[in-house]
Amino acid sequence: MVFYFNLYFVGTCDIVFNVDFESGVMSTEDDIYLGSDQEGSNFLDRYYNVVITRELAPYGAPTYLSVEDVTTNSVTLTWQENSFEEVTQWVVRYSPLVVTSVDENGNKTYDLAENGALLKEIVVDEHPCSLTNLEEGTPYKVWVRPEPAEGKWSEPMIFDTKATAVPAVPADPIVSEWYDRGDESGYSRLYFTLPETDVDGNEINKEYLSYSVFTDDDQIFTFPVENYSYNISEDLTEIPYEIFISGYDFKEDHVYFYRTNEGDNPFFTKRIGMQVYYTVGSVKNASNIVYWNLPPEIATGIQNVTASESPDTWYTLDGRKLSAKPMTKGVFIKNGQKVVNK
């Protein structure tokens, strides 16, 4: 059996100890290194012998209680053992909750449903373990302790079962920023905020969201597999939740492109944006396409020079004003017109 302890010196670290239950001896094969980057301090010490000053309870409270594989009516519970004696059974206590208040930041407070009358306990022989026959779309509080009765209860945790999704039209995303690293780096990023509600303000489940990217005249962008092989196995024009929630190039608030607006082949000339889809079963609803626009004086490359600009005002295609004529090759905006610098 393995236990984890936090050792408090100048910081914290997890040390793995093996326990011989017959002798009660705790041992570790880990070497412990302590270091500091504080001002005036520069050391790296190595400790081979560690003395544990905290007494380990025979049936201590489990730690790191968490849930996985949440569905509308079930969850999987995991935790970390923290007992000196070997444990073969665990008591799991759980109850549905009711929301009693919500503050201005969306933080909720709860009470046990029906004053605790729905509280249940089960005994399990192993972990992870599953809770089933739960109510959908409901918050729950759960605790766990080792058997026998003197076992200590863990800290409680709260989770929500999933609610059955219903078709809805998602609210529009917010497209907030375009970041261009330039032609030499070869990549750029689009920042955005995905909707959390439908157009009527009702909460939606992000797991049913997907999005597409558009440029200029509503031209949908294809993400080529050769550039996104860490995330996708085929060319895609629509990025689903399971990719953008855990992808390498796809994030929940931005996406990478291996194209820029500099050089002879700009990514777009006027605008870049995105559309969000909410798909439940066979019903797919879409938001509007929301764009981030290049500054007007460089969006088309055929704009009049404003009175405040000098005869030699230079911009990159993504709108960055240059202090002088660029020294590199590529396409730029000079005095409101697109030119090729050779």
SS3 annotation, the chain: CEEEEECCCCCCCEEEEEEECCCCEEECCCCEEEEECCCCCCEEEEECCCCCCCCCCCCCCCEEEEEECCCCCCEEEEEECCCCCCCCCEEEEEEEEEEEEECCCCCEEEEEHHHHCCCEEEEECCCCEEECCCCCCCEEEEEEEECCCCCCCCCCEEEECCCCCCCCCECCCEEEEEEECCCCCCCEEEEEECCCEECCCCECCHHHEEEEEEECCCEECCECCCCCCCCCCCCECCEEHHHHCCCCCECCCEEEECCCCCCCCCCCCCEEEEEEEEEECCEEEECCCEEEECCHHHHCCECCCCCCCCCCCEECCCCCEECCCCCCCEEEEECCEEEEEC
* Predicted confidence (pLDDT) at residue 160 exceeds the cutoff of 80: yes
More confident of the two residues 207 and 8:
207
Whole-number percent of the chain with pLDDT over 70: 73
Whether 280 has a pLDDT exceeding 80, the answer reads yes
What is the pLDDT at residue 155?
93
Map out the domains of the chain with their CATH numbers: 2-47 (no CATH), 63-160 (2.60.40.10), 174-293 (2.60.40), 296-341 (no CATH)
Which has more confidence, 302 or 9? 9
Which residue would you say has higher pLDDT here, 117 or 183?
Answer: 117
Mean pLDDT of 5-13: 46
54 has pLDDT over 70: no
Identify the residue with better confidence: 121 or 36.
121
Contacts of 25-31 with CB under 8 Å at 24 or more apart are: 26/52, 26/56
Residue-averaged pLDDT of the chain: 80
pLDDT at 33 over 90: no
pLDDT of residue 281: 87
What pLDDT score was predicted for residue 107?
A: 84
Query: What's the chain's Rg over C-alpha atoms?
Result: 29
User: Does residue 256 have a pLDDT over 70?
Assistant: yes
Tens of pLDDT, residue by residue over 116-148, are 899 999 999 999 999 999 998 899 999 999 998
**Residue 221 pLDDT:** 96
Task: Supply the pLDDT for residue 86.
Answer: 87
Which pLDDT score is estimated for 261?
A: 81
* Mean pLDDT on 162-190: 86
Is 50 exceeded by the pLDDT of residue 176?
yes
Residue 312 has pLDDT above 50, yes or no: yes
How large is the average pLDDT for residues 12-36?
56
